Every structure is written in C-alpha cells, then in structure tokens.
C-alpha cells in the first residue's frame, strides 16, 4: 500500500484541489498557487513566495522535495532558487514555493496555476561520527571533472 501524506487546507484556500499526479507514472505531484486575490505578477529579477494552500504531514522517514516544473523554468523563466526545496517530516506549516524570475519579462500567475511539483522520497537520518582515517578507493580525493569530460 502506498504511504499517506496528510494535507490540511489553509484558511485562504477555499477551493484548490489536493495536489495530484498528472499521470499514473508521474514521479511528482503538481502544486498549485493559492492566490486569494486572484493573481500575482513576478517582475524580472524578483522573487515571490507562494503558498500551495495546504499544510502537510509527511510520514516519518520521508521528505518532500519541491522542484520546478520544466515548462515554468525553461519557457516562463521562473526558477526555484532553493531547488529542491526541502519539506521536513516534522514541518506542520504552510508549504511555500519560492519562484524567481530570471527572464526579462514580467510573468503573471493565476490562482490555481500549477507552479511546481513535489516528490516524496525516503530519507536516511544517520549517525555522524568523527574519524581520523577514511577507507581507500580508486577515486580517492579526485573530483570536479577528474575522470575527464567525454
Ligand atoms: O521550498 C520550501 C522550503 C522549505 N519550506 C518549509 C518546510 C521546511 O520543513 C521548512 C524549513 O526548510 P529548510 O530546512 O530548507 O530551511 P532552513 O533555512 O534550514 O530553516 P530551518 O532552520 O527552519 O530548518 O521550511 C517550504 O515551505 N518551502
Ligand atoms: Mg533546515
């Protein structure tokens, strides 16, 4: 059985449907903008924080990742600066999406527009232990392109 995520509607959200998966195989559920005043315009080089109209309760051991929808990011020039946004399993506040307009034109968003998508994923919370030596590997300390380009 799939895990359950609880959504609590905010006072400002009278009508938005629950986030949902657009297709049976979708990895992420779409999140809509809750804009009680109807619309918001994001000016170039400006950031808006939009509510999705719900608070969430995630199962312990999971997180929600707030990711850009490709069309929003690549065609409408609205990116999520803190991508992926992290929703902790113990967070009970309103889920918000930050959108930054990196284009040159203002972008208007309307109430109910699908502004982002959310993946719920398992997470490991580990014990952090300090040591004086780490195990040897073929890579060692090589990184940042050390294995070549092509
Ligand atoms: O895009 C986001 C990112 C975060 N949050 C909420 C849920 C998350 O559980 C909480 C804290 O987020 P994060 O850990 O990324 O922020 P922080 O700067 O580390 O703040 P804190 O000290 O509260 O953890 O803020 C959102 O609503 N949207
Ligand atoms: Mg944090």
Cα(88) to ligand 2 centroid in Å equals 8
Reported as a single tens digit per residue, the pLDDT across 36-65 is 999 999 999 999 999 999 999 999 999 999
DSSP state letter for 78 = E
**Could you tell me if residue 37 is inside a domain?**
yes
Query: Would the ipTM clear 0.95, i.e. be above it?
Result: yes
Reduced to 3 states, what is the DSSP secondary structure of residue 73? Answer: helix
The pLDDT of residue 119 is 98
Residue 111 binned pLDDT confidence (cut-offs 50, 70, 90): very high
**Could you tell me if residue 15 is inside a domain?**
yes
Cα(148) to ligand 1 centroid in Å equals 36
**Could you tell me if residue 140 is inside a domain?**
no
Q: Name the pTM for this structure.
A: 0.95
The pLDDT of residue 124 is 97
Residue 3 binned pLDDT confidence (cut-offs 50, 70, 90): confident
The answer to whether the CB of 58 is under 6 A from ligand 1 is no
The label of the residue with tokens 């300390």 reads: 141
Reported as a single tens digit per residue, the pLDDT across 65-109 is 999 999 999 999 999 999 999 999 999 999 999 999 999 999 999
> Rounded distance, CA 6 to CA 59, Å?
9
> Rounded distance, CA 67 to CA 72, Å?
11
Structurally, the chain folds into a number of domains equal to 1
Percent of the chain with pLDDT over 90: 97
The answer to whether the CB of 111 is under 6 A from ligand 1 is no
**Could you tell me if residue 57 is inside a domain?**
yes
Is 44:104 a contact under the CB 8 Å cutoff? yes
Mean pLDDT of the chain: 97
Which residue range is the domain that position 25 belongs to? 6-122
Using omega within 30 degrees of 0 as the cis cutoff, is the peptide bond preceding 84 cis? yes
**Could you tell me if residue 132 is inside a domain?**
no
- Segment 106-125 mean pLDDT: 98
**Ligand 1 atom with minimal separation from the 96 CA:** 27
Q: What's the CATH number where 64 sits?
A: 2.70.40.10
DSSP state letter for 84 = S
The residue whose CA has the least distance to atom 20 of ligand 1 is: 86
Mutate to test the pocket of ligand 1, among 8, 58, 85 (most ligand atoms within 8 A of CB): 85
**Could you tell me if residue 135 is inside a domain?**
no
Report whether pLDDT(2) > 90. no
**Could you tell me if residue 137 is inside a domain?**
no
Report whether pLDDT(1) > 80. no
């Amino acid at each position: 059985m799939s895990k359950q995520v609880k959504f609590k509607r905010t006072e400002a959200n009278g009508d938005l449907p629950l986030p949902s998966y657009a297709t049976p195989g979708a990895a992420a559920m779409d999140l809509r903008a809750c804009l009680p005043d109807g619309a918001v315009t994001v000016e170039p080089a400006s950031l808006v924080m939009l509510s999705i109209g719900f608070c969430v309760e995630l199962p312990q051991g999971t997180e929600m990742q707030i990711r850009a929808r490709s069309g929003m990011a690549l065609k409408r020039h609205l990116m999520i600066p803190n991508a992926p946004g992290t929703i902790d399993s113990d967070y009970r506040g309103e889920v918000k999406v930050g959108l930054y307009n990196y284009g040159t034109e203002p972008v208007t968003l309307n109430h109910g527009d699908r502004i982002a998508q959310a993946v719920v994923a398992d997470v490991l919370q580990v014990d952090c232990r300090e040591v004086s030596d780490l195990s040897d590997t073929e890579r060692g300390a090589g990184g940042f392109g050390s294995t070549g380009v092509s």
